[in-house]
Structure 1
Amino acid sequence: MRITNGLILLRLVALAVAQGSGTYSVKTPPLTTNWTFEVGTNPWPEYPRPQMQRSQWQNLNGIWRYENATSLNATSDPPFSQTLENEVLVPSCLESGLSGIMGSYALYSWFSTSFTVPSSWSGNQILLNFGAVDYEATVYVNGQQAGFNRGGYYQFTVDVTNATKFDEANELLVFVHDPTDSGDYVIPIGKQTLRPSHIFYTPCSGIWQSVWVEPAPANYITALDVNANMDGQVNVTVHSSSGAASPVSVTIYESGGEKAIATTNGTSDSPFQFTVSSTSLWSPDSPTLYNMSISFGSDTVRSYTGFRTISKGEVNGVVRPLLNGEPLFMFGTLDQGFWPDGIYTPPSREAMVYDLDVLKSLGFNMLRKHIKVENDLFYQACDQMGLLLIQDMPALRPLQGDQYLPNADQQAEFTRQLELLVNQHKSYPSIVTWVIYNEGWGQLIDGYPEFGLTDLVNSLDGTRLIDSTTGWFDHGAGDFSDNHHYANPQCGSPFYSIQSSPYDPARIGIQGEFGGIGQNVSIEHLWNNQAAINTINQTYEIDETIDAWNYRGHKLLTELKEQTEIYACSGGVWTQTTDVEGEVNGLLTYDRRVLRTNITQWKDDIQALYDALKSRSSNSTSTMRML
């Protein structure tokens, strides 16, 4: 791929050498959280993949070594058996304070560590797992290239059996290339940019999710697809490393216990179904989950599921989302998942869940995971807490005119990664909607590819709704007629702005983004970067006091309620969970130390939204037609 402004870029890359001193310590970022200096050197100790958990495993998180590289050509001479220049915390973003590096323009990087595999694992396949590496990773073990992965948001596994030595140190070396939005690269990056400015933020490069190694038999489970519906039917596909049909046994246990309530046998690598009687349904009000075990030859994994059905229907003449056959008002926040100390990587599971606890306590039943993919423990937490998820596909580079529209190869890569998103996350009960395009970013206008992509997503996962285009270029694809408007909502209504299409009564009316009202705070709670501070007044609306901010919030939520009572609104996404860098429009400040909301007021206003839809959907002449 051609790199424009090459001399400037090379100079910036040269300046991107690690700012660490060799020995790891947390770098103080422009803003800290209460968890920044509590992370320690053994972060994220939890098993990283809760829906396919093996009993034997070894966590490789902790202090690794890191060194900047200058180009892709670095892979022609890997630094085997060398001590790289700096210590770095894994998982973390190289640009973060938690990494100990806090670098910039980290386009090319080397990471190294060592691990010891016990001889008791011999005779098994040795699987090296990565939660996510941004953006391309080339993996070497003991001097041998073992694997390559492209895609900054997705987990991958490298079989390192042939390169592994038992009961002695194994050298692990990873080369990472993360172009972000350098040159003319057009890749899924979400809100990351090398040039942060207001609604675009500090990027994340490197190994930003957990790394672990585990043994598995010669023929082992590679993936597990589970969907359990409101009728008690469980649909399962167990994917194997051989791809050859083999016997599988699935057991489901009572909720919260280990008493088996259903066992069935099936065949791997093709779907099979069975029914469990008298199950409790999963919902935001009652997020009941059931543990599972799956046996495949000598491989056994643990998992879980929740029984629920997502669908749509016409209720009293309005198309609505349905959860377990009942009309549902989905109300949540735009959740960007950025942290001042970790950028993309939360300091800990406790910190990550704090945001979710705040949303749940205020009465939100949903969040829109905005053009980012989280680690698997995030989705497990939403499953456990009963938070519905609208999951975005990470967006391509935002348009500047038509300069960064994807070419055929870039569009094919976007499509491949969209498939990964769906396939790796379609077993989480909390996910109820997939989003393909956000506000036209990377969306080709000629030929309307969102129709084909919608069909693709539906073929991969027909159990959820699809929001093909959230905001802007809507040509009629998908299940939602989705409006974005700041600050006031325009939800399922006969009025709209030029940035969104008119409401389509054949689809679900939702306010995909609104609100965005800001309130400046003292420097103690701001991202203390002058360039970011200079953009604060680009926030959609600035309210000078907390009281004014809450007053405006009440007015806007009242408008959304009225559009639910009068028109055809079925949900809304408030911008946003937290401030991010130069944006000061969060319920929480970026450091999570100040909650702006008047709790009683917001809880009442949110409940009024649910009550409004319930009233519209359950009058004495109520009618429903499934779609």
Structure 2
Amino acid sequence: MHLLRSVLVSLLTASALALPGAEKQSSVKHRRAAGYALKEPPLTTPWTDKVGTNPWPEYPRPQLQRSQWQNLNGVWQYQNASGLDAVQSPPFGQDLGQEVLIPSCLESGLSGIQGNYTLYSWFSTSFEVPSDWDGQNVLLNFGAVDYEATVFVNGQKAGFHRGGYFKFSVDVTRFVKQGQKNELLVFVHDPTDSGDYVIPIGKQTLEPSHIFYTPCSGIWQTVWIEPVPMNHISRLDLDGNKDGQVNITVHTAANVSTSVQVVVHDGDHVVATHRGPTNRPFQFKVVSPKLWSPNSPNLYKVTVILGQDRVQSYTGFRTIERGTVNGVVRPLLNDEFIFLFATLDQGYWPDGIYTPPTKEAMVYDLQLLKKLGFNTVRKHIKVEPELFYQTCDELGLLVIQDMPALRPSQSRTLANGTSVPILPDPAQQVEFGRQLEVLVNQLKSFPSIAAWVIYNEGWGQITTYYPEIELTARVKQLDPTRLVDSTTGWYDHGAGDFSDNHHYANPQCGTPFYSINSSPYDDTRIGFQGEFGGLGNNVSIEHLWNNQNAINSINQTYEIDITVEAWNYRSHLLLSELKDQVTRFSCSGGVWTQTTDVEGEVNGLMTYDRRLQRVDEEQWKADIQGLYDAAAARSNATVSL
């Protein structure tokens, strides 16, 4: 292991960040299989041993919250399935033989399985419907299942869902029995990048290598049930702009037009009440709202009442658009140029893979970014639990949200020996577009989201024609209140709001020079550095993903800095270079790679286990503030070269 260099822990000691206390869990009866046990992952975090057998007790859907619910997270049963045909012979009423923690990725230590090639799986548990829910419909909700889920309740097929990053609900009213245990059985098929499948997978791969990581299969976000009236609120589209206008659509299960009441609260004070129709947009105003921004993340509670259905939500008043400031196209927040400075945030965990061990752990990452002065996070080709976006809303962190990529940077060899990139066929491209719509519709009500990313570095992007042009128009129609970064890095054909360059290690942001992997700066759009940095600093084995293939790939990092002092010195130089490009050219923001190390990558602000920080906090705070100061100065004066 000649690659391993010991570093002094005292140089990297993590700053103490306040972690929020765990919220109270709803009462729930689980099938408790005594055999569940954490499997030791290649690396742990400070939260690994705190997960227990009742993980993620928090209410998981903060923008459509009901007072009655039952959390089904905990110890379930699991068994591997033989293939797709297994769904035709469900193991009703059978002991599945192994115990698994829900929610978790089957490949994770927290799952108790830590499997490989878990392409086909069965999951089971049982639940009781509380007696005081009698007369109401029962919804069974899943935060996310990767990739396809077939749901059975009491021996009957209740629903099917495709898409590994998105929530879905199944009305199980006609399948459940009051006062009895109800059997829940879920068949999951997750092909990842096997065979000819071209599906949204982000950085998941069955063969992890350097910048591509361990996959996540199975039920990896919260499962819960809740009672609702037969005609209930199924979705809220909610947006507040800088002028106090509330734009809202209240979708209902019955899909008929009726009246709904909306009440907006500022703390304990009602600031607006309005009645409008269901299933079509309507607007009303809040007078003189306190605006939402990273410096003042003001949020307003919203209550929506449809007959006997009452849900709690929230919104923030802000307007995100693009405009010209002193001759340069800029991102604007509430009519002012905002320099967007983010980290590339992968959202991977050594103990949970895609599933953070706890909410506290997830919040810890975001608190660190906010503490250092970042005002944005780029959620990199992954979708997080909704509590992640709520935390960004509350902290004041803008979000650039990527669509998970299709088969990144993979090729196949044709019969004639030619190697060609693996790209979607027409049906797979249609499915990618459908899931892009789901992404936007499910997340567009979070005030923190500033921009949508369609393609990252050409991964899964067809270049014989330009699908991003139509997809950009589709996203703009679904959500006209956000910017769209159609192609971050590589194949830019003029679509969207950003002229986005990727370059490691130093930046090329809105400049009259560019690299082979990005297009020239287009001054009709926002000049943006979608990725840069990537500076590596190796650490001792106790803070590394202890997998030999990952360790062997460390020297593939863009740059290795021998000491943490050298790493901070190089970071300072690159941030100073970005600042110079803000002053001289048309740079409107950047994304530093990255929040944490991931598996064989050692270029994070923190190590993968979150136990050590590389950052010299005072230096980074000053350098980041320098970017904002340079942007403010450029907004107020024309700089001549």
Q: Distance in 1 between matches of 2:637 and 2:494?
A: 30
1:526 aligned residue (527, 544, 549): 544
Deviates more, 1:511-520 or 1:22-31: 22-31
Q: Distance in 2 between matches of 1:281 and 1:106?
A: 47
Provide the residue aligned with 2:320 in structure 1.
310
1:171 aligned residue (183, 187, 193): 183
Structure 1 residue 620: Cα displacement:
8.7
Matches within 5 A, 1:196-207: 196-207=208-219
Matches within 5 A, 1:64-143: 64-143=76-155
Q: Percent identity?
A: 69
The SS at the match of 2:174 is helix
Q: Distance in 2 between matches of 1:245 and 1:336?
A: 41
Q: Distance in 2 between matches of 1:30 and 1:23?
A: 21
Q: Distance in 2 between matches of 1:619 and 1:318?
A: 11
Q: Letter of the aligned partner of 1:597 in structure 2?
A: V
Q: 1:534 to 1:620 in 2, by over 3 A?
A: closer
Deviations 1:94-120 (A, max 9, x none): 000000111110000000000000222
Q: Any conservation in 2 of the 1:237–1:271 contact (CA below 8 Å)?
A: yes
Q: Any conservation in 1 of the 2:509–2:578 contact (CA below 8 Å)?
A: yes
Q: Any conservation in 2 of the 1:137–1:175 contact (CA below 8 Å)?
A: yes
Q: Distance in 1 between matches of 2:97 and 2:610?
A: 34
Structure 1 residue 582: Cα displacement:
0.1
Provide the residue aligned with 1:612 in structure 2.
630
Q: Distance in 2 between matches of 1:551 and 1:178?
A: 43
Deviations 1:465-498 (A, max 9, x none): 0000000000100000000000000000000000
RMSD: 1.1
Q: Distance in 1 between matches of 2:69 and 2:387?
A: 17
Provide the residue aligned with 2:253 in structure 1.
241
Q: Distance in 2 between matches of 1:261 and 1:75?
A: 52
Q: Letter of the aligned partner of 1:605 in structure 2?
A: D
The SS at the match of 2:56 is coil
Q: Distance in 1 between matches of 2:558 and 2:511?
A: 22
Q: Distance in 1 between matches of 2:252 and 2:530?
A: 38
Q: Distance in 1 between matches of 2:361 and 2:466?
A: 40
Q: Letter of the aligned partner of 1:538 in structure 2?
A: Q
Provide the residue aligned with 2:341 in structure 1.
331
Q: Letter of the aligned partner of 2:305 in structure 1?
A: S
Q: Distance in 2 between matches of 1:412 and 1:348?
A: 35
The SS at the match of 2:512 is coil
Q: Distance in 2 between matches of 1:277 and 1:562?
A: 41
Provide the residue aligned with 1:227 in structure 2.
239
Deviations 1:402-452 (A, max 9, x none): 341100000000000000000000000000000000000010112201000
- Structure 1: where are the runs of 5+ without partners? 1-20, 623-627
Q: Distance in 2 between matches of 1:391 and 1:425?
A: 9
Structure 1 residue 298: Cα displacement:
1.2
Q: Any conservation in 1 of the 2:504–2:534 contact (CA below 8 Å)?
A: yes
Provide the residue aligned with 2:23 in structure 1.
none
Q: Distance in 2 between matches of 1:420 and 1:221?
A: 18
Q: Letter of the aligned partner of 1:27 in structure 2?
A: K
Structure 1 residue 618: Cα displacement:
1.5
Q: Letter of the aligned partner of 2:571 in structure 1?
A: G
Q: Letter of the aligned partner of 2:374 in structure 1?
A: F
Matches within 5 A, 1:382-393: 382-393=392-403
Q: Letter of the aligned partner of 2:346 in structure 1?
A: Q
Provide the residue aligned with 2:19 in structure 1.
none
Deviations 1:496-515 (A, max 9, x none): 00000000000000000000
Deviates more, 1:331-340 or 1:68-77: 68-77
Matches within 5 A, 1:478-517: 478-517=496-535
1:458 aligned residue (457, 476, 484): 476
Q: Any conservation in 2 of the 1:312–1:320 contact (CA below 8 Å)?
A: yes
Q: Letter of the aligned partner of 2:221 in structure 1?
A: Q
Q: Distance in 2 between matches of 1:586 and 1:329?
A: 22
Provide the residue aligned with 1:477 in structure 2.
495
Provide the residue aligned with 1:277 in structure 2.
287
Q: Any conservation in 2 of the 1:65–1:86 contact (CA below 8 Å)?
A: yes
Paired residues in the alignment total 600
Q: Any conservation in 1 of the 2:68–2:226 contact (CA below 8 Å)?
A: yes
Q: Distance in 2 between matches of 1:547 and 1:162?
A: 64
Q: Letter of the aligned partner of 1:488 in structure 2?
A: N
1:290 aligns with 2:308: no
Q: Any conservation in 2 of the 1:22–1:85 contact (CA below 8 Å)?
A: no
Q: Letter of the aligned partner of 1:592 in structure 2?
A: R
Structure 1 residue 125: Cα displacement:
1.1
Matches within 5 A, 1:560-575: 560-575=578-593
1:552 aligns with 2:570: yes
1:394 aligns with 2:404: yes
Q: Letter of the aligned partner of 2:533 in structure 1?
A: G
Q: Distance in 1 between matches of 2:471 and 2:420?
A: 21
1:376 aligned residue (381, 386, 397): 386
Q: Any conservation in 1 of the 2:583–2:639 contact (CA below 8 Å)?
A: no
Structure 1 residue 621: Cα displacement:
11
Q: Letter of the aligned partner of 2:229 in structure 1?
A: P
Provide the residue aligned with 2:171 in structure 1.
159
Q: Letter of the aligned partner of 1:293 in structure 2?
A: T
Q: Letter of the aligned partner of 2:223 in structure 1?
A: V
Provide the residue aligned with 1:34 in structure 2.
46
Structure 1 residue 258: Cα displacement:
2.5
1:259 aligned residue (248, 269, 283): 269
Q: Distance in 2 between matches of 1:109 and 1:251?
A: 44
Q: Distance in 1 between matches of 2:579 and 2:177?
A: 63
Q: Distance in 1 between matches of 2:230 and 2:322?
A: 43
Matches within 5 A, 1:616-627: 616-619=634-637
Q: Distance in 1 between matches of 2:269 and 2:638?
A: 43
The SS at the match of 1:604 is helix
Q: Letter of the aligned partner of 2:526 in structure 1?
A: I
1:587 aligns with 2:605: yes
Q: Distance in 1 between matches of 2:36 and 2:575?
A: 47
Structure 1 residue 156: Cα displacement:
0.1
Provide the residue aligned with 1:410 in structure 2.
428
Structure 1 residue 261: Cα displacement:
1.2
Q: Letter of the aligned partner of 2:143 in structure 1?
A: G
Q: Any conservation in 2 of the 1:426–1:461 contact (CA below 8 Å)?
A: yes
Provide the residue aligned with 2:445 in structure 1.
427
Deviates more, 1:278-287 or 1:21-30: 21-30
Q: Letter of the aligned partner of 2:632 in structure 1?
A: K
Q: Any conservation in 1 of the 2:584–2:639 contact (CA below 8 Å)?
A: no
1:576 aligns with 2:588: no
Q: Distance in 2 between matches of 1:205 and 1:620?
A: 52
Q: Distance in 2 between matches of 1:513 and 1:218?
A: 48
Q: Distance in 2 between matches of 1:458 and 1:312?
A: 13
The SS at the match of 1:417 is helix
Q: Distance in 1 between matches of 2:632 and 2:323?
A: 14
Q: Any conservation in 2 of the 1:22–1:86 contact (CA below 8 Å)?
A: no
- Structure 2: where are the runs of 5+ without partners? 1-32, 412-418
Structure 1 residue 79: Cα displacement:
0.3
